[in-house]
Amino acid sequence: MTNSIEAVGEKLAEILTSYLKDNWSDSPSSNKTITAATNMVTELQLDSFQVMEFMLEVEDHYDIVIDLDSLSNIHTITDLAAVVIDHQD
């Protein structure tokens, strides 16, 4: 499995795009183009609940557990990719 931050970021953008379409289709964010550089809070305007719900999908995809404390400094998809890689090690 490719474990680079770019590859993980790309995959996370894909998971988030599909997650928003499936679960938050009413939100204007569900139609936005999401990339590794996207800021989840300022650009997508996800609230803390939505970010935590999305994390459950990420955990299941990578078969990891991420503690809530690790989420406090995550703003962009790239930030999240770094946390995912860290928890895979």
Partner 1 sequence: MPLLEKFSVAGQLKSGLGNVGKDPTSVVFDQLNSATEGVVEGRTTILAGTNNYLGLTFDPACIAAGVAAMQSQGTGTTGSRMANGSYAAHGALEAELADLYQCSNALVFSTGYAANLGVLTALLGKGDAVLLDSDAHASLYDGCGMSQADIYRFKHNDVKSLERRIKRLGDRSSRCLVVVEGMYSVLGDCAPLKEIVEITERYGARLLVDEAHSLGVFGERGCGVAEAEGVLDKVDFVVGTFSKSLGAMGGFCVSRHDVLGLFRYVSRPFMFTASPSPAVMATTREALKQLRSRPELKETLWSNARRLYSGLKELGFELGPEISPVIAVRCKDRESALAQWNQLLEAGIYVNMMLPPATPGGASFLRCSISAAHTPEQISTIIEKFAELKS
Q: Which of 39, 53, 79, 82 binds partner 1 (CB under 8 A)?
A: 53
Q: Which of 1, 28, 33, 67 binds partner 1 (CB under 8 A)?
A: 67
- Position 46: which residue type? L
83-89 contacts, C-beta under 8 A, 24 or more apart: 84/8, 84/12, 84/58, 85/3, 85/5, 85/8, 87/62, 88/3, 88/62, 88/64
Q: Which of 29, 50, 76, 78 binds partner 1 (CB under 8 A)?
A: 50
Q: How far is the CB of 6 from partner 1 (least distance, A)?
A: 25
Q: Is 47 in the site for partner 1 (CB under 8 A)?
A: yes
In this structure, what DSSP letter does residue 76 have? B
What are the residues binding partner 1 (CB under 8 A)?
23-24, 26, 47-50, 52-53, 55-56, 59-60, 63-69
